[in-house]
């Protein structure tokens, strides 16, 4: 097997737990704010690893650049949407969960 | 004044053209559609956000990329570790951070970066105060936020005037 393929498989396998963690965090975390942490950060890292794995398989550097661009755009929209959701929740009077009550 | 306006418009035109070129894989056939879509995108972007001047320092950008990657990895591992742990290791709190960066692109960039870093999420922006949601009160990151702000200021070549609290 091509060493590039092995490297791609390693990155894909490394990515999967982060997507799983993002979803588990979404289900387990106590409030909207904590859930946003799980979704933005874990999925962002998972997607980054998948982009690296796929970029290794790309035929041209233009394809790799396009994959990188997709990652940047998803990061940008993810962070923006997370901020908007958190802001809306705060302004609607939603109090963040605190384990110290 | 007008010269700088044309410069800023041109920058968006070049930016969106580059984006089109990348997304269509550099194919020549796509340009008839691109010649319509790119100006439309520029128009839409202008209605959403009027052009304001900003620039980036290349050395600071080169220093920022490894920092950002390292922090993203830490952030992802941190939150994934919490999601898989029982009981949930969460002790969230809101933290207010007085912003020193001026309004504009640099500030938005800072907001988005904070949300991708370990344990912090930009939750609201009221006047010049940023409300940050932290996953862990013990790791309350006031110093980290100041350092990050300094990095972003260097990236956008902005002076920073920190008010004494």
Does residue B121 sit at the A interface (CB-CB below 8 Å)?
Answer: yes
- Inter-chain CB proximity B116 and A96 less than 8 Å: no
> Of the candidates B73, B78, B133, which has its C-beta nearest A33's C-beta?
B133
Q: Answer for the pair A82, B112: CB distance below 8 angstroms, yes or no.
A: no
pLDDT in tens, B74-90: 999 999 999 999 898 99
Is residue A101 very low, low, confident or very high in pLDDT (cuts 50, 70, 90)? Answer: low
Of B72, B118, B135, the CB nearest to A48: B72
The alpha-carbon gap from B134 to the nearest alpha carbon of chain A, in Å, equals: 8
Residue B55 has pLDDT above 70, yes or no: yes
pLDDT tops 90 at residue B16: yes
The whole-number average pLDDT for the span B114-127 is 91
* Cβ contact, residue pair B83, A36, below 8 Å: no
Is the predicted pLDDT of residue B31 greater than 80, yes or no? yes
Average pLDDT taken over every residue of chain B: 88
Which pLDDT tens digit goes with each residue over A48-96? 999 999 999 998 888 899 999 999 999 999 999 999 999 999 999 999 9
* CB–CB contact A91 B121 (8 Å): no
Find how far residue B98's CA is from the centre of its chain.
Answer: 17
Q: Give the whole-angstrom CA distance, residue B5 versus residue A19.
A: 43
| Secondary structure element (H or E) that encloses residue B97, with its range | strand B93-98
Instruction: Count A/B contacts: CB-CB distance under 8 Å.
Output: 122
> Long-range contacts: B140-149, Cβ < 8 Å, 24+?
B140/B93, B140/B95, B141/B95, B142/B95, B142/B97, B144/B117, B144/B120, B145/B95, B145/B97, B145/B114, B145/B120, B148/B110, B148/B113, B148/B114, B148/B117, B149/B99, B149/B100, B149/B101, B149/B110
- Tokens describing residue B109: 């960039």
B14 and A CB contact within 8 Å = no
> What band does B35 get if pLDDT is binned at 50, 70 and 90?
very high
For a pLDDT cut of 90, what percent of chain B falls above it? Answer: 53
Beta carbons of B59 and B155 less than 8 angstroms apart: no
Mean pLDDT of B25-45: 90
CB contact under 8 Å between B83 and A100, yes or no, is no
Whether residue B87 has a cis bond before it, omega within 30° of 0:
yes
A67-76 long-range Cβ contacts below 8 angstroms, 24+ apart: A69/B19, A69/B22, A69/B23, A71/A47, A74/A44, A74/A47, A75/A44, A75/B112, A75/B116, A76/B112
Q: Please state the separation of Cα B71 from the chain's center in Å.
A: 14
Q: How many residues does chain B have?
A: 165
| Six-digit token string for B71 | 């922090």
pLDDT digits (tens, 9 = 90+) for A33-54: 999 999 999 999 999 999 999 9
| pLDDT attached to residue B165 | 47
What tokens does B133 get? 């949601």
């Amino acid at each position: 097997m091509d060493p590039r393929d092995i490297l791609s498989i390693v990155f894909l396998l490394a990515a999967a737990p982060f997507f799983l963690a993002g979803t588990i965090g979404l289900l387990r975390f106590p409030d909207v704010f904590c859930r946003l942490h799980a979704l933005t950060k874990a999925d962002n890292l998972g997607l980054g690893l998948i982009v690296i794995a796929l970029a290794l398989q790309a035929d041209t550097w233009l394809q790799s650049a396009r994959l990188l661009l997709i990652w940047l755009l998803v990061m940008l929209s993810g962070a923006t949407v997370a901020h908007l959701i958190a802001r809306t929740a705060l302004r609607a009077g939603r109090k963040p969960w605190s384990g110290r009550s | 004044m007008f010269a700088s306006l044309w410069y800023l418009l041109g920058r968006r035109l070049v930016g969106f053209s580059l984006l089109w070129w990348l997304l269509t894989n550099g194919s020549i056939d796509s340009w008839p559609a691109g010649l319509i879509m790119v100006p439309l995108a520029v128009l839409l972007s202008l209605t959403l956000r009027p052009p304001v001047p900003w620039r980036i320092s290349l050395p600071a950008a080169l220093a920022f990329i490894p920092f950002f990657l390292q922090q993203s990895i830490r952030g992802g591992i941190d939150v994934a570790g919490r999601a898989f742990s029982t009981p949930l290791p969460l002790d969230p709190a809101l933290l207010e951070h007085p912003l020193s960066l001026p309004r504009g692109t640099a500030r938005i960039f800072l907001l988005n970066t904070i949300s991708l870093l370990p344990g912090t999420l930009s939750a609201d922006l009221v006047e010049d105060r940023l409300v940050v949601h932290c996953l862990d009160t013990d790791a309350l990151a006031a110093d980290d936020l100041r350092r990050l702000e300094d990095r972003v200021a260097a990236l956008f070549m902005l002076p920073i005037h920190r008010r004494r609290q």
